[in-house]
Amino acid sequence: MALRVVFMGTPHFAAATLEAILQAGHSVAAVYTQPPRPAGRRGLELVPSPVQGLAERHGLEVRSPVSLKGAAEQEAFAALQADVAVVVAYGLLLPKPILEAPRLGCFNGHASLLPRWRGAAPIQRAIMAGDRQTGMMIMRMDEGLDSGPVAMEERLPIAPGTTAGDLHDQLMVVGARLMVDALDRLGKGELPLQAQPEEGVTYAAKISKGETRINWAEPAEAVDRRIRGLSPMPGAWCEMDHGGRRERLKLLRSEKGEGEGEPGLLLDDSGNIACGTGAVRLLQVQRAGGKPVAMRDFLQGLPAGVDRLL
């Protein structure tokens, strides 16, 4: 059964679900997304979100309100007479009148195994915490933060070496497929809902700038998880002393290393860096203004005497 859908989302992660909904034959009454943001080297160009770009290519109406709290915006939303709203990484809280407007409710695709990692950065937090599995969940939204009843889930293992970017791409595909399945069941009146357990609630706070700098005095396991959990965006980083000046180095891929030494010391030409305990082997890095390169290529280009990361 085709449903009349309002789609609400912003990044590439959400665009995959919108594409899947359209391919499944549902009618999208309107698309809500964040307004275009400044981009480019000088920040002078306004760039639409990936969801807006996709919606415009399909000739869909796009709305970009800065808030949904006003009566006028809520009335405009209700006037769409949607069967359901689908929300994936939208970026705005939905007040009660919005949640209650669609005939069948609002359903969110969330990239964690709720109630673990409610909030803004579930993919990054799962890797940084050393979780061995995560997944996608479809939940009916309520006024709480990712606290509504769960309709469907699919679990994924977090393999060794996985970065947040890797996991993002895997979950994006799973989430799009799962949401289409959920809408199919919803249209047939066969979508089950189960309340989230009260135990095991954790919150995936937005990544702060202070978390992105690597502290080599931490244990190697924690350093490795931080590097992978923040890759590729916003990116973990450190500094090196290059010719008497500090240069920032972005760290993109790593694994458990070998050796011991003073934290930050480059132990060998394989990219092993000493940590508080143990070592991390860097696999891919990026200099400021440069492209990602394998660590072995980066080391070959280093001048003599650079033997430490700060």
Output the domain CATH number for residue 261: 3.10.25.10
Interatomic CA distance for residues 114 and 81, integer angstroms: 30
234 shares a domain with 182: no
Please give the residue that has the higher pLDDT: either 9 or 289: 9
> Is the domain of 222 the same as that of 75?
no
What DSSP state is assigned to residue 63?
E
- 174, 250: one domain: no
Q: Clarify whether residues 196 and 240 are in a common domain.
A: no
User: Looking at the predicted structure, is the pLDDT value of residue 46 above 90?
Assistant: no
Residue 285 inside a domain? The answer is yes
Q: What is the mean pLDDT of residues 53-61?
A: 97
User: Which one of 203, 233, 248 terminates a domain?
Assistant: 203
Is residue 262 located within the same domain as residue 226? yes
Q: Identify the CATH number of the domain in which residue 35 sits.
A: 3.40.50.170
Q: How many folded domains does the chain comprise? A: 2
- Name the band, by pLDDT with cuts 50, 70 and 90, for residue 290: confident
Residues 60 and 187 in one domain: yes
Taking the model in full, what pTM does it have? 0.91
Q: Are 118 and 204 in contact (CB under 8 A)?
A: yes
Q: Do 88 and 13 contact (CB within 8 A), yes or no?
A: yes
135/74 Cα distance (integer angstroms): 32
Say which residue, 310 or 163, is predicted with more confidence: 163
Task: Count other Cβ atoms within 10 Å, centred on residue 74.
Answer: 17
What distance in Å separates the CA atoms of residue 30 and residue 25, rounded to the nearest whole number? 15
pLDDT tier at 78 (50, 70, 90 boundaries)? very high
Burial of 31 (0-12, 13-18, 19+ CB in 10 A): buried
Whether residue 309 is contained in a domain is answered as: no
On whether residue 305 sits in a domain, the answer given is no
- The H or E element containing residue 39 is strand 37-39
Asked if 243 and 266 count as a contact pair (C-beta separation under 8 A), the reply is no
- Closest to 123 (Cα-Cα) out of 94, 153, 162: 162
pLDDT tens digits along 198-207: 999 999 999 9
User: Is 219 assigned a ligand-binding role in the annotation?
Assistant: no
- pLDDT (0 to 100) of residue 42: 62
Please report which residue ranges of the chain form alpha helices under DSSP H: 12-23, 50-57, 71-78, 96-100, 122-128, 164-187, 220-229, 295-300
DSSP run (H or E) holding 241: strand 236-242
Whether residue 67 is annotated as binding a ligand: the answer is no
Do 139 and 245 reside in the same domain of the chain? no
Q: Does the annotation flag 114 for ligand binding?
A: yes
Distance CA 192, CA 3 (A): 18
From the list 147, 81, 82, the residue with the least C-alpha distance to 117 is 147
Whose tokens are 């989302």? That residue is: 9
d(CA 101, CA 121): 28
Task: Retrieve residue 230's tokens.
Answer: 């923040």
pLDDT at 243 over 70: no
Could you tell me the two tokens for 97?
């009148």
Domain final position from 184, 203, 222: 203
How many CB atoms within 10 Å of residue 218?
Answer: 17
- Residue 112 annotated as lining a ligand binding site: yes
Phi, psi of 10 (to 5 degrees): -135, -55
90-123 tens-digit pLDDT: 999 999 999 999 999 999 999 999 999 999 999 9
Cβ atoms 215, 111 nearer than 8 A: no
In terms of domains, do 217 and 238 share one? yes
Residues 155 and 220 in one domain: no
Does any domain span residue 310? no
Domain that holds residue 272: 209-300
**Whether residue 132 is found in the same domain as residue 277:** no
Q: Sorting pLDDT into bands at 50, 70 and 90, what band is 304? A: low
Q: How far apart are CA 17 and CA 61, in angstroms?
A: 17
Last residue of a domain, one of 178, 203, 228: 203
User: In this structure, how many other beta carbons lie within 10 angstroms of the beta carbon of residue 250?
Assistant: 21
